[in-house]
Structure 1
């Protein structure tokens, strides 16, 4: 099985964020108000978790291939690439540290009409049954849904 991992490029978490001078008077800054010129960029930490999980699954022998892709401007279409590559599993970080939106995995699952397991703390593939089991942390403890392939997972 092929897996895909979406990786988002964000301002490095250790960098002090500055508001653009012309936007400093805004009461609530938005992402376009942030100064990105000469700012160190890095992989979103939650995407690092997603990549690590995908590589762990591949090293266990449960998957044959991991395709990593990077998100970009509005013109980038994740759904279109998934439809071309046809992975059995798409893994993303649960949210990005730049906007805290937590929406990409859910939106892609909806657009593809694939089942989704969000906030995964543990992912186990069963190649014989062609399902993935996801331990997800919820307010009352753990929930463990079992999803058919293809599926979207967001890691916690």
Structure 2
């Protein structure tokens, strides 16, 4: 497997309809008219992913006040996402991409470096999708810790 194709500003965001942690479907098209922060993470309830989700949770009110909707996406099953949401008080939708098709379409699944080895997995990424469904920013290989604070600064919110 080679490096996945990456999205760039101006690209149309790949549409999706995926089950959420509650089992209900969420479609990107349902969020048209709002700016979406879609963030891809490897696995619910792991230390880095928990830190990142809690950072988004803690910033959610100010992000929403600035017009942003947050959605997390991982290959975890909805049942695991529900436990994650409950355990950590996550207050935004978590969507399940068990076949990794959407993650792949966003360039957030493929070869990556992990502890000096090349492995295949979820590439921690964040996408800013504008109200018309276009990629405003595509950030790949982001760090779990400090990412939300950096994103807030880059978006002019701090």
TM range (shorter): 0.3 to 0.5
Higher relative contact order (CA 8 A, sep 6+): 2
What's the TM-score once normalised by structure 1's chain length?
0.34
Whose Rg is larger?
A: 1
**Higher relative strand content:** 1
**Higher relative helix content:** 2
